[in-house]
Structure 1
Amino acid sequence: MAKASTPKRPTRDEFELEDLGNQLVEAKEDGDERALTVWGEAEKVRGRITVLDSRTRLVHVEDNGHIRKIPFLDIMKVSYS
C-alpha cells in the first residue's frame, strides 16, 4: 500500500526561526493586530497575539473573542494586517 504524498513544511534555518520568534514577541508586546501566513492554510490568520507558549510551542491568536492556537513551526510569515 503506497503512502499518500503530502507536501512537507518547508525547512528553515535557525536564523529564520529566531527572526520569526522576535517578530512574534514584538507583535505580542505591541498588542497590534497582525496577519500570519500559516503553512497549509489558504487564507491568512488575522488577530492579536495573546500568548506565546514555549512549553507547547503554540501561538495563541485572538480575533473577536475567538482564540486559535497555531503551532510555531507552521507560521511562515508575520505581517501587519
Structure 2
Amino acid sequence: MPPVLKPKKKFKDKRPTRDEAILEEIGERIVEAKEEENEVVLTVWGLDEPVQGRIVNLDARTKLVHVQNNGETIKVPFMDIMKVDNPD
C-alpha cells in the first residue's frame, strides 16, 4: 500500500488558512497537470522537502492526490498542498 504523507504532529502547528480562490487555483493546476501528464513539484504543509512527480489519480472520496515518482506512489492530502510548481 502506498504511503500517505502526514505532517509531523505538533500541538501548536495549524495548517495555514487559504481563501477559496487560492484553493481553486491549486485544484485547477493539479487537474491540468494530471490531464496533460506533466510532472509537478508540490509544496506540502508540514514536510521539509517538496514532493515531485506525475499526478496519476485524484481521489475525491478520500481527498488524496496520488503522485508517482520512480515507480513509487505517494498520497498527499489535497488540503496540505500549499503550492503547485513546474520542475526546474
**TM-score, with structure 2 as normaliser:** 0.84
Match of 1:76 in 2: 82
Higher strand share: 1
Matched, 1:47 2:47: no
Match of 2:29 in 1: 23
Q: Which has the larger radius of gyration?
A: 1
**Displaced runs of 4+ in structure 1, greater than 3 A?**
none
Q: C-alpha offsets along residues 15-34 of structure 1, whole Å, 9 cap, x if unaligned?
A: 11111100000010111111
Highest RCO, 1 vs 2 (Cα 8 Å, sep ≥ 6): 2
- Equivalent-residue separation in structure 2 for 1:5 and 1:24 (angstroms): 30
- What is the identity percentage for the equivalent residue pairs of Structure 1 and Structure 2? 56
State the aligned residue count. Answer: 78
RMSD across aligned positions (CA): 1.0
